[in-house]
Chains A and B, each alone.
Chain A
Amino acid sequence: MTNTPADKHLMFNRRNLFGATAAGLAVSSLAACATSGGDDEAGEVEVGEDAENPFGVDPAAPLDVVIFDGGFGNEYAVAHQEIYKRAFPDAEVNHLATQAIAETQQPRFAEGKPADVLDNSGAQQIPMDALVSDGELAELTPLLEAPSYDDPEVTVRDTLREGVLEAGTFNGKVYALNYVFNAWTIWYDAKLFRDQGWTPPTTWDEMIALCPTIKAAGIAPWTYAGQHPVYLYDMFLMLAGRHGGVQVLKDIDNLKEGAWNHESVVLAAQAMHSLGESGFLLDGSAGIDHIQSQTAFNNNEAAFLPCGSWLPNEQKAIAPADFEYAPMGVPYLEGSAQPGLISAGGDEPFVVPKNATNLSGAYEYLRIMLSQEGSQIFGDTVQATTVVKGVALDNEAAKMTDALVSNPDDMFQPQFRYWYTKMNEEVRPALGQLINAESTPEEFIARMQTVADETAADDTIEKFTHED
């Protein structure tokens, strides 16, 4: 880590410059180490009258942008920065695209000199719960209340699709802009189903009834990325939420006592367990990663695969040309109260650190990202929808997904995984054990209820709740 000792607390004037040289080693080591650095009073950004520049951006101030260089690449971000420079030609934009978000950015937070805009995503993301409870992030209300880039009469908030701020909201405050619209669905090959004369099941019982037929055709009914059981998270929770209604899931997130023992959650656990027990999983699923499971799926070795909306686009170049990616909601259990419930909303969190040097520039950059032009650029480069309304994509899977998420009341993203790292670390292996019938539904429920109770009882963990 390179560092200048010009921390705000360590101002060198001529008089102590001599001593400073001698102390150079000590100072730079202190500045380089994590536990020093000043806690600056963060500036507040107000929304001004000027619709062109509502945050009062200093046109000459440099902007520091860090992009997660994952499935979406960083081409779109470069294009966004071009728009920023069009508005502020004198500003120098510092662009870093990396997969190692935590490794490169965490030390900068610790030093008190974070980037201005950070795409905190990927396997190496900095835990959001830690950032929020440490008060390291700026609230995004000024951005949401500012006039939108395209129409000063409409606020930024009103340009967004319904329910997309939920994922970045912690105790009612928006700390992250989740830029990509994503729904977790079950995928199947529409062509395969047509050719075989199978009807995509809507209920769990239909699905279970279809499984022996699928097996008879030499195809395993289900596969998933066994090495990353997190792919089962939304499938399992939607199964429970569809049965008992969304409140069941809110109770789980809110760490309500006995939330995991709810009948719907137990039924969902039993359903997941039955897949492994009945031999409806592709042999070897537990030992493969997402690439292997998707490849097996592309080769029609398995009929159903739980994954997010990005899948068809990601597989476009890999899947056989006549493979027809089609999404469906998880087949619901008998007696489901809210069978349309679906895990959909924002993904790919962009955050603005509270100690960012160019705070107003950061807000402006996000405002540009949320402009029609900005989100169309994203849609065109990566073929994924952003959270902005009215940017349509020309592909069949995206249209089918849109139909699944048409009712805003049925959209809900379970949050406990993001709110409580400890529960995230527990639910993943627990789901893996459950679906492979390595543990019983009762053990699974008891295990999750225990960790939920422990989290609730731990005063050192900051708690979050859903509103209403």
Chain B
Amino acid sequence: MKHGRYPFILSFLALPVGLYAWLVILPFAQAFQISLTDWSGSSNSFEYIGFDNYVNLFKDERLVLPALRHTGIILVVLPVVTIALGLFFAFMLNLGGRVRRGRIEGVRGARFHKIVYFFPQVLSVAIIGILWKQVYAPENFGGLITGALTAVGLPAPVNGFLADTRFVLAAVIGVLVWSAVGFYLVFFSSAMASIPRDLYEAAVIDGAGRGPMFFRITLPLLWDSVQTAWIYLSIVALDVFVLIYMMTPERGGPDAASEVVGGVIWKYAFNHGEQAFASALGVVLFFAALSLAVVSLRFGRRERIEF
């Protein structure tokens, strides 16, 4: 390497790396430091108490443990359902239609469907929250689903879906899936478009149906995209704070039935005045997210096929 090149590169890197260190790494490091104290958040005095916060974290039956459980459920259900639906819709829109003159086409009106499915992606999450809060509302307060259920003679929760401990988490996950599936439909569609058509046509000639075509050709060749989607969705799943905050009673209720880790961090930091405890939970979440990404990248690795 030529003389003087390093200083040249370094001079370019100094500013971004410096900013990154100051605005990202330092706060992370500080969250860890704070998590070892008893800092309330509204004072400039604190004492170091070792790992007490971390120990107490896993004794908190009221907020933290339910939140970890719920975040765990979302972490599993959200990616699986969203990716499954996204793949299914993308497959149908691209290859679900009839075979015409040896070419496979999507279902009728595929372009229109794509736009409709993508639509929730354009809405801000605040609007989605307000919208669905009303959709899930009690029947005599204008709830759409409860009203529809009653209209066809089916039982509906009298207080709406969000005020019922049995349904609230599922209701929130439903909204998450609804708002994410459009994006992954488009995402998988474009990935599918890059799979050579002759592979499918060969499969059709060999007499393969839609099912084998999907599982033998599409899915293996989309594996990279599925993996990417999985990681993105997992990150979303670790932070559903906004929807919980906007939609559910008492921001995580009723009775902690929809608490998630992000929301509990917020509650401890600002409602309870226990910033140190919140930081400890934040550190746990940070490492959980990190290991999640590492694990899914490691175990998801497959042989690449060039075409």
Q: Which residues of A contact B (CB under 8 A)?
A: 25, 29, 33-39, 102-103, 106, 109-112, 124, 126-127, 129-131, 133-136, 226-229, 282-288, 292, 296, 421-422, 425-426, 428-430, 432-433, 436, 438, 460
Contacts and interface: CB of A to CB of B under 8 A. Distances in A.
Contacts of B44: 35-39, 109-112
Contacts of B41: 34, 106, 110, 130
B137 interface: yes
B30 interface: yes
B138 A287 contact: yes
Contacts of A436: 159
Contacts of A282: 140
A429 B273 contact: no
Nearest to A220: B140
Contacts of A432: 249-250, 253-255
Contact of A102 (B45, B159, B256, B270): B270
Contact of B43 (A136, A288, A430): A136
Interface stretch (B3-11, B31-39, B188-196, B226-234): B31-39
A104 to B, nearest CB: 12
Interface residues of B, number: 45
Interface stretch (B160-168, B199-207, B214-222): B160-168
Given A228-B249, A228-B250, A103 B270 contact: yes
B58 interface: no
Interface string B247-277: 0011001111000000000010011111100
A29 to B, nearest CB: 6
A460 B46 CA distance: 13
Interface of B: 18, 22, 26-27, 30, 33-34, 37-46, 62-63, 137-141, 143, 158-160, 162-165, 249-250, 253-256, 267, 270-275
A230 B276 CA distance: 26
Contacts, number: 141
A35 B18 CA distance: 21
Contact of A109 (B34, B43, B271): B43
Contacts of A111: 44
B173 to A, nearest CB: 18
The 6 closest A-B pairs by CB, nearest first: A284-B138, A130-B273, A287-B163, A134-B43, A287-B160, A227-B249
A110 B141 contact: no
A286 B159 CA distance: 6
Contact of A130 (B40, B62, B250, B254): B40
A127 B250 contact: no
A134 B38 CA distance: 11
Contacts of B272: 127, 130, 421-422, 425
A12 B78 CA distance: 54
B42 A226 contact: no
A317 to B, nearest CB: 21
Given A106-B42, A109-B43, A226-B159, A287 B26 contact: no
A134 B40 contact: yes
A134 B42 contact: yes
Contacts of A226: 159, 163, 249
Given A33-B26, A433-B255, A460-B38, A421 B273 contact: yes
A35 B249 contact: no
Contacts of B267: 425
A279 to B, nearest CB: 10
Given A284-B158, A421-B273, 16 more contacts: A29-B22, A34-B275, A35-B34, A35-B39, A106-B41, A106-B42, A130-B40, A130-B43, A135-B45, A136-B43, A226-B249, A284-B138, A284-B141, A284-B143, A287-B137, A287-B141
A284 B63 CA distance: 26
Contact of A25 (B18, B33, B158, B256): B18
Contacts of B43: 109-110, 130-131, 134-136
